[in-house]
Chains A and B, each alone.
Chain A
């Protein structure tokens, strides 16, 4: 937010105070809601735990249970994120209502649904990274690298619509923009229902592609696994 204040206190070379047709309040609202959604759409702790299960061998006890490893962690992740969403929502909601920043209250539920749908894709990617642990044992740094790349692609740093073409178009068509950009842009009025639909469709495509690969990769990984530390 400090950065946006500094940017808007300087005039552009052409004298236009707005950026991409939007004023300072719009960018402040974006920064506020982006921080909230970035926290919801990232998966650090559960992915580290999943990797630890393979590295330490404690996955053995989970593999013998009448449920899949995927489901076991997916529902933990979604449950944790539901609680986080409930409590973290208070701050941006209160600030947005107190300040004259653009916000459409009725759009929040659909934005949250999109992020939770995106979390399924995030979990599938986390499963792929975790499965790599069957082959190379330690995957902690891969998790960090992958999460940083996702963070860059979601649009938390800057709204993706101000990124120069053709990068903007590439970023918007990728499913990762549904983690932060689409929900925040929807709430703050930068985009409409049609673009939100694009977000849902791109996440669906991502789930199909990553999900298919994950199933294949997981089976290969289990074949390779020798149950260390059991």
Chain B
């Protein structure tokens, strides 16, 4: 049983490696486009950093966080976002197009898990550069803290994969709706509006909003909880909740995908 699972895991790792190679070749074909993708995220990072740099000129703290702490928060946000952009963005952004044009049929008939195929077929290789920039910013801002405790960074080995799992599950479920309604541009818009809530520390929100962002729409778990793990005393209950929410959401995303597939009526042929 375990041996079979390991064989399956090896098979999927092999497939993912093939996706990686194919994406690398495809991305390098358009080099200017490749470079522009790196620039895009650097501009976005710059915008976030500048916003807080300007605002901290007028206040010593915002939501109880000072500039150094906010920079660590931004570093975690950049790293999480880079994973999202590398692994998911290209796959889920034009998912409804795949349905409209009938391309999804070709993915569904392949002898591998359809959710895996739809979610991970294309990687944005250019964004690896941004992952490095984000990590460098995180480490630099962490080193600027008055009393940095490097051991706390180990929490990120658990919490950043959780952040990715949460973003993935929510984004994937919202994309899956396209199987029912075909055109879902507004769902995408809604996702990005909600995702923006994760780009600020949870402490800036009122208690009620924070509850919602920790439970119903768990966007506060994406960057705020990992940042808290690095900056403040560990809160094992909060971390356990983050892991639990991740597992629940990934499970729900699979169930929801299978449910939506029942509504799919091929667009091609």
Contacts and interface: CB of A to CB of B under 8 A. Distances in A.
Interface stretch (B9-17, B56-64, B73-81, B172-180): B56-64
A7 B55 CA distance: 8
Q: Tell me if B's interface is mostly helix, strand, loop or mixed.
A: helix
B63 A6 contact: yes
A145 B51 contact: no
B40 interface: yes
Nearest to A16: B58
Q: Interface centre among B33, B34, B62, B206, by most A CB within 10 Å?
A: B33
B46 interface: yes
A200 interface: no
Contact of A144 (B36, B59, B200): B36
Contacts of A20: 58
B209 interface: yes
Interface in A125-181: 132, 136-142, 144-145, 148-149, 151-152, 157-158, 162-164
A130 B61 CA distance: 44
A145 B54 contact: no
A152 B62 contact: no
A3 B62 contact: yes
Given A3-B204, A7-B55, A137-B30, A145 B43 contact: yes
A145 B45 CA distance: 12
A164 B50 CA distance: 11
A138 B40 CA distance: 15
A57 B209 CA distance: 49
A19 B57 CA distance: 10
A2 B205 contact: yes
A152 B47 contact: yes
Interface residues of A, number: 30
Interface residues of B, number: 31
Contacts of B30: 136-138
B33 A139 contact: yes
A142 B32 contact: yes
A157 B55 CA distance: 11
A3 B43 contact: no
B100 interface: no
A7 B34 CA distance: 38
Given A136-B30, A136-B33, A10 B46 contact: no
Contacts of B117: none
Contact of A10 (B44, B54, B60, B205): B60
Interface of A: 2-3, 5-7, 10-13, 19-20, 132, 136-142, 144-145, 148-149, 151-152, 157-158, 162-164
The 4 closest A-B pairs by CB, nearest first: A141-B36, A6-B204, A145-B40, A138-B30
